[in-house]
Amino acid sequence: MPQTLVLNATYEPLGVVSERRALILVLNQRATTIEESDTVLHYSGGAITLPAVIKLVKFVRIPYRHAVPLSRRALFARDGGRCVYCAAPATSIDHVIPRSRGGSHNWENVVSACHKCNHQKADRTLKEIGWKLKTLPREPAGAAWRILGTGKPDTRWISYLRPFGAEHGVA
Ligand SMILES: [Zn+2]
């Protein structure tokens, strides 16, 4: 189902809603259309193009920032789509401290890896295998990351997401 990116009045990305829900917000003058989608809705009186990006008229305060959901897509985006050990295209998730050794499934313990490195590392720690990480894994920061995890972003969203933390993998 096509979705619409919702921006706060400040242009900060807030999330995604269905195109029809977005249209209702626009018709109720709670939001304005910033980018149009390819979907044209026909009705008795004519036709209207559904929005790809809308911006809320009034600023909405978000009191609590939810953690960025850990997904394969978001993880690959964080690590630039590459294996952190050999820079080959990422195809799997590696737990830095293996799960079998008590490593947890969180942003601080997962990295993008290729199958070869993942298989080679197996259930060993980095110290045991003599590998090093260039940067310590951590939770990505920025509003755009919440949206990255929700599905395939529309190409028209990219320029609105980029200033808010999603440098990689938005395509
Ligand atoms: Zn690799």
The pLDDT tens digits of the residues spanning 52-76 come to: 999 999 998 876 666 778 889 889 9
| Region of poorest pLDDT, from 17-21, 85-89, 124-128 | 17-21
Within this chain, do residues 104 and 120 fall inside the same structural domain, yes or no?
Answer: yes
Within this chain, do residues 147 and 117 fall inside the same structural domain, yes or no?
Answer: no
Which residues have a Cβ under 8 Å from the Cβ of 37 and sit 6 or more positions away?
Answer: 2, 4, 19, 49, 50, 51, 52, 154, 156
Helix, strand, coil content of the chain in percent (nearest 5): 30, 25, 45
State the distance from the centre of ligand 1 to the C-alpha of 17, rounded, in angstroms.
Answer: 37
State the distance from the centre of ligand 1 to the C-alpha of 133, rounded, in angstroms.
Answer: 12
| Region of poorest pLDDT, from 22-26, 71-75, 87-91, 119-123 | 71-75
Query: Of all residues in the chain, what percent carry a pLDDT higher than 70?
Result: 87
Q: Does a structural domain hold residue 94?
A: yes
Within this chain, do residues 59 and 86 fall inside the same structural domain, yes or no?
Answer: no
Q: Does a structural domain hold residue 135?
A: no
Q: Does a structural domain hold residue 104?
A: yes
State residue 64's pLDDT score: 60
State residue 156's pLDDT score: 87
Within this chain, do residues 7 and 59 fall inside the same structural domain, yes or no?
Answer: yes
Q: Does a structural domain hold residue 171?
A: no
Q: Does a structural domain hold residue 102?
A: yes
State the distance from the centre of ligand 1 to the C-alpha of 86, rounded, in angstroms.
Answer: 4
State residue 120's pLDDT score: 96
- Which residues lie near ion ligand 1 (Cβ < 5 Å)? 83, 85-86, 88, 114, 117
Provide the domain limits for residue 116: 72-129
Q: Does a structural domain hold residue 137?
A: no
Q: What is the CATH number of the domain that holds 83?
A: 1.10.30.50
Within this chain, do residues 76 and 120 fall inside the same structural domain, yes or no?
Answer: yes
- pLDDT bin (cut points 50, 70, 90) of residue 151 is low
How far apart CA 10 and CA 150 sit, in angstroms, is: 22
Chain centroid to CA 55: 19
Average pLDDT, the chain: 87
Residue 128 has pLDDT above 50, yes or no: yes
Which residues have a Cβ under 8 Å from the Cβ of 17 and sit 6 or more positions away?
Answer: 3, 4, 6, 25
State residue 149's pLDDT score: 62
The number of folded domains in the chain is: 2
State the distance from the centre of ligand 1 to the C-alpha of 161, rounded, in angstroms.
Answer: 29
Please answer whether residues 11 and 27 qualify as being in contact, where contact means their C-beta atoms are separated by less than 8 angstroms: no
How far apart CA 157 and CA 161 sit, in angstroms, is: 6
Within this chain, do residues 58 and 77 fall inside the same structural domain, yes or no?
Answer: no
Residue 169 has pLDDT above 50, yes or no: no
Which sign does the torsion angle of CA 74, 162, 89, 150 carry?
Answer: positive
Q: Does a structural domain hold residue 170?
A: no
Within this chain, do residues 84 and 122 fall inside the same structural domain, yes or no?
Answer: yes
